[in-house]
């Protein structure tokens, strides 16, 4: 019984190429009480591996968080399998705006303590007492209200390339960092302001909205289905798009373009750019924004030091990496002293005092 991948990413990419089938990129989440996450994990792997599902899925006692791709002609069978699981029946599926057959190259289903690393003690508040879910039309109305503070619940490297107009974009590396920062900055406005939140697909706002209601915020709203569902709704209903730039995604695509605006800059030269890349030096892999000119000049590397290492023979690179572990930059997502044009993000005080 196969419960784990037995193909490399390269081998899988070759099979996808040979199959010649279009694949759909899908994300979904569900909070539910799962008694034995490991059993569910194994059940999902066996069923989804047979359907040629690829992706990254987290299962925990609190639910499931999935980003995946599947051959389009297997979608009906996949949906039927989801509906056969009680807490996943009719779960909303966020289907990507742009598809890439190589968005995922392995099926990874992992058991985690939580489906989102929020750093919260769920026993201290009612996680089911969430904010009001609003659709795209209502969301557009709310964010034009002068009594609304619109907060991006994503990380700095996500909001840097795209966000809603007039949104607060906390300069944080992780979701858990933003929770206390936002509460502190808005502590004097718990009753007189609308706290409106959004994220990529909605999952981060589920827990955040319950947390802020527990902390005394009276008017808490969240964009239903996140940015992905918002874009689908505005396209279907002909609504005004208030998102500028690109939506960062956590797969090989890296982003989906929502508007033609390029709001970020190359971290190396400052030219307009919004394409994330990982440093080509295997000992670094820093995620940063690089324009085409710098990509060619720097050989897809974040620094001259990394470029020098990257151009060494492979065996010499391996020797240099022995015992070194990964560079800390791999976890910084665009933060490094040698990147002079990292963009500063808007904070809450700028919004409240404008």
Q: Which residues are catalytic?
A: 199
Matching residue, tokens 């996680």: 127
Instruction: Please check whether residue 248 is in contact with residue 257, taking contact to mean a CB–CB distance below 8 angstroms.
Output: no
Instruction: Please check whether residue 198 is in contact with residue 222, taking contact to mean a CB–CB distance below 8 angstroms.
Output: yes
189 phi-psi bin (left φ>0, alpha ψ -120 to 50, beta other): alpha
Output the CA torsion sign for 29, 30, 34, 40: negative
Give the Cα-Cα-Cα angle 208, 166, 244 (nearest 5 degrees): 95
**297 token code pair:** 């000049």
What is the C-alpha to C-alpha distance for residues 201 and 45, in angstroms, rounded to an integer? 23
What is the C-alpha to C-alpha distance for residues 159 and 236, in angstroms, rounded to an integer? 24
What is the C-alpha to C-alpha distance for residues 310 and 312, in angstroms, rounded to an integer? 6
Nearest to 289 by CA among 237, 337, 326, 254: 254
Polymer length of the chain = 354
């Amino acid at each position: 019984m196969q419960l784990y991948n037995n193909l490399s990413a390269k081998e899988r990419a070759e099979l996808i190429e040979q199959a010649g089938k279009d694949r759909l990129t899908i994300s979904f989440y569900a909070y539910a009480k799962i008694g034995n996450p490991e059993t569910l994990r194994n059940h999902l792997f066996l069923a989804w591996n047979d359907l040629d599902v690829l992706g990254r899925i987290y299962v925990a006692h609190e639910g499931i968080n999935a980003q995946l791709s599947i051959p389009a002609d297997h979608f009906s069978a996949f949906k039927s399998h989801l509906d056969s699981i009680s807490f996943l029946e009719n779960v909303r599926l966020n289907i990507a705006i742009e598809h890439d057959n190589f968005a995922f190259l392995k099926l990874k289903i992992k058991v985690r303590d939580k489906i989102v690393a929020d750093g919260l003690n769920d026993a201290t508040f009612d996680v089911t007492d969430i904010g009001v879910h609003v659709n795209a039309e209502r969301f557009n109305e709310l964010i034009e209200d002068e009594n609304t503070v619109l907060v991006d619940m994503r990380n700095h490297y996500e909001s840097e390339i795209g966000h809603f107009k007039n949104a607060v974009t906390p300069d944080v590396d992780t979701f858990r960092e933003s929770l206390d920062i936002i509460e502190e900055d808005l502590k004097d406005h718990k009753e007189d302001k609308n706290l409106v939140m959004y994220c990529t697909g909605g999952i981060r706002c589920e827990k955040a909205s319950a947390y802020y209601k527990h902390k005394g915020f009276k008017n808490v709203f969240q964009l239903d289905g996140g940015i992905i569902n918002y874009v689908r709704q505005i396209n279907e209903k002909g609504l005004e798009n208030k998102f500028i730039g690109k939506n960062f995604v956590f797969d090989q695509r890296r982003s989906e373009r929502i508007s033609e605006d390029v709001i970020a800059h190359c971290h190396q030269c400052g030219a307009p750019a919004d394409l994330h890349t990982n440093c080509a030096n295997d000992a670094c892999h820093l995620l940063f924004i690089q324009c085409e000119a710098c990509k060619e000049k720097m050989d897809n590397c974040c620094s001259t030091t990394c470029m020098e290492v990257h151009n060494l023979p492979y065996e010499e690179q391996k020797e240099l990496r022995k015992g070194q572990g990964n560079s800390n930059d791999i976890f910084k997502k665009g933060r490094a002293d040698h990147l002079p044009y990292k963009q500063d993000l808007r904070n809450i005080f700028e919004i409240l005092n404008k």
